[in-house]
Chain A
């Protein structure tokens, strides 16, 4: 029983992290039909912004040296500006192109950002020691849970609630939902397209910054590809959740994380190296059963 609870905590913690990434991807997809693979590089660059930009293998802390509230705000600012810059430079001019062109453009942005980081920081992984206090285990009902898992779950819950309130209660949130439902119609009804899309990127920047901080406290390690796996997993999560549905994206991220941990925990030893094959097998099965994903939104339905 205790073991099962511990596995569930592990599963929910990873699920939460992926839900945040999936939400960011789902949100941007909702308003402009762009699957933004550069989301992973927002995470990477947010993490690298903690240290001084240098080729040195043991860089000093930069934003990471600030007191915690300033550090969190600083990383958010960096990632938000980055997200807005990529939107302005790479995605806005292509807004009327088809989704495939946008997708290719996001790959280009992603490679560009990766090589930019490589140019400044070299390709070698680096280490960064922040958030030590959060890595000590906490005793909860006889379970020894690493503090970072508790923080990840709490932060995800808080952000989800904040996002729901924003989308349901604020004018901007309502405009954003309208744009996600039917962008052309919303535009005709006076929803400011540029502003809605910019806000979506700001939110994806905030989520990216939070994920990079959570990842860094968990792993203590900077690497060029640190955002890649979370984004690939989150991309699958948005697909199985139902493209365009935010609830679906969060749910999908959560399910992919939970399934990944459960497979890692309960597969026999010989099969564990192939965990991801099983995971993506599950994704295929879900899509065969529900081709539009778990939650189908109005905009995605065929109109006959």
Chain B
């Protein structure tokens, strides 16, 4: 085994040394700062990468217009990973070899990590647009890896705390979609927050379904036979199965509040359940003109001016604030060298970005308590309700779901 060097390892080593050479050359003060985006522009991941990318581009344009970062302009380049893990690794290596100061990767650990690993191996800063898995950081990739979103667990925590504090809900039923790890993380967070000052008996039941099941009739029958009925359903899912499940739940005459995950935010799927009401999610911000924060309205106006249309998804804000975070870290470090930038970023404590106050630590390169805008569906649209900040900070056991 040791006699032959695998081509990928060779390529990785070669690109790493190339990149090391590139870093070793001191950057002239007027050289541009280069950002590479190794993200999906096609395939299913594109749905989650495209809007945050436009958010990032918008902030880059603003920085350049304001005179640049450390007096240097920012240049960016994007290459399509086509939602393919192999290709993500190749694209990441290629961009690293060409020499970038920051590599931005996909909004998901599985899809983003291959490119992030290439950057990490070459000692280059890398940030995921919005992965919710804490492995996208120190533990799963490397010391120069960060993600610009809350952990999946935090979503569940925010929803449980809000349901307890503001909705007065005392009993709940958990319906879990088995499609991706994100759902498990959110459910783990929800349970942890829910059980803080209650016992297990307040969770009246728990069931699972497959995202591509055409029917969840048996899950609904089981739920309907509970006596007493739960006051709310916690259901973490994504489309298409999520919309389908909610349609079937409502069609069965169950009209208690449904508490969902952030992935179900935004109006695009509401045709599936035309009269939907009492569906709640922790969202990022409102695209529908009722966000309580003035700066969001300014952002939306500027976005519309830049792209001639409104953002298609509220995930857009993660990309914008990801560049804000990089900007602040580089300014504080007075350098674009990865160790200095990462050290500055680890020192973030409630830094005010558009998406909300953000904190990283030397142990966790993921956000754990950025506030959410709680939203509900009324009259065919998501509506802003209020900003709610998750209070329970998940510990390492909960984050990495050890022994759960």
Contacts and interface: CB of A to CB of B under 8 A. Distances in A.
Q: Do A and B come from one complex?
A: yes
Interface of A: 3, 6-7, 10-11, 13-14, 17, 57-58, 122-129, 132, 135-137, 144, 146-149, 215, 218-223, 225-226, 228-230, 261, 264-265, 269, 272-273, 276
A218 B271 contact: no
19 contacts: A6-B225, A7-B221, A10-B215, A125-B243, A126-B271, A127-B239, A127-B269, A127-B270, A132-B275, A137-B253, A148-B251, A218-B215, A219-B248, A220-B247, A221-B247, A226-B214, A226-B240, A265-B221, A272-B207
Interface in B190-232: 206-208, 210, 212-215, 217-219, 221-222, 224-225
Nearest to B42: A123
A135 B255 CA distance: 13
A146 B248 contact: yes
B272 A219 contact: yes
Q: Is the interface of A mostly helix, strand, loop or mixed?
A: helix
Closest 5 CB pairs of A and B: A220-B272, A219-B244, A10-B217, A135-B251, A125-B240
B212 A265 contact: no
Contacts of A3: 221, 225
Given A57-B268, A129-B274, A269-B207, A221 B225 contact: no
Given A218-B247, A226-B240, 5 more contacts: A126-B271, A127-B269, A144-B252, A146-B251, A264-B219
A11 B251 CA distance: 17
B221 A223 contact: no
Q: Considering residues A135, A228, A229, A276, which has the most beta carbons from chain B within 10 angstroms of its beta carbon? A: A135
B380 to A, nearest CB: 10
A102 to B, nearest CB: 26
Given A229-B212, A265-B218, A222 B250 contact: no
Contact of A219 (B42, B208, B214, B267): B214
A124 B238 CA distance: 11
Contacts of B251: 135-137, 146-148
Given A123-B47, A128-B272, A223 B218 contact: no
Given A265-B221, A269-B206, A218 B214 contact: yes
A129 to B, nearest CB: 4
Given A135-B251, A219-B243, A228-B212, A124 B44 contact: yes
Contacts of A223: 239-240
Contacts of B269: 125-127, 221
Contact of B273 (A7, A220, A261): A220
B74 interface: no
Contacts of A124: 44, 47, 239
Q: Considering residues B43, B178, B213, B272, which has the most beta carbons from chain A within 10 angstroms of its beta carbon? A: B272
B46 interface: yes
Contacts of B273: 129, 220
Chain B contact-residue range equals 35 or more
Interface in B137-166: none
A137 B275 CA distance: 15
Contact of A129 (B206, B221, B248, B272): B272
Interface of B: 42-44, 46-47, 178, 206-208, 210, 212-215, 217-219, 221-222, 224-225, 239-241, 243-244, 247-248, 250-253, 267-275, 312
A65 to B, nearest CB: 13
B271 A13 contact: no
A272 B219 CA distance: 10
A126 B247 CA distance: 14
B255 to A, nearest CB: 11
Given A3-B225, A135-B251, A261 B243 contact: no
A144 B253 contact: yes
A13 B47 contact: no
Contacts of B272: 127-129, 219-221
A207 to B, nearest CB: 15
A223 B239 CA distance: 9
A220 B208 contact: no
A273 B213 CA distance: 12
Contacts of B267: 58
B207 A146 contact: no
Contacts of A221: 239-241, 243-244, 247, 269, 272
A127 B47 CA distance: 15
A9 to B, nearest CB: 8
A273 B312 CA distance: 34
B208 A273 contact: yes
Given A127-B269, A218-B214, A273 B178 contact: yes
B178 A135 contact: no
Nearest to A10: B217
B240 A222 contact: yes
A128 B271 contact: yes
A146 B252 contact: yes
A9 B156 CA distance: 34
B221 A6 contact: yes
Contacts of B46: 122-123
B206 A10 contact: no
A122 B46 CA distance: 10
Contact of A229 (B214, B217, B218, B274): B214
A221 B239 CA distance: 8
A149 B212 contact: no
Given A10-B218, A135-B250, A218-B248, A123 B274 contact: no
Q: Considering residues A137, A221, A228, A272, which has the most beta carbons from chain B within 10 angstroms of its beta carbon? A: A221
A57 B243 CA distance: 14
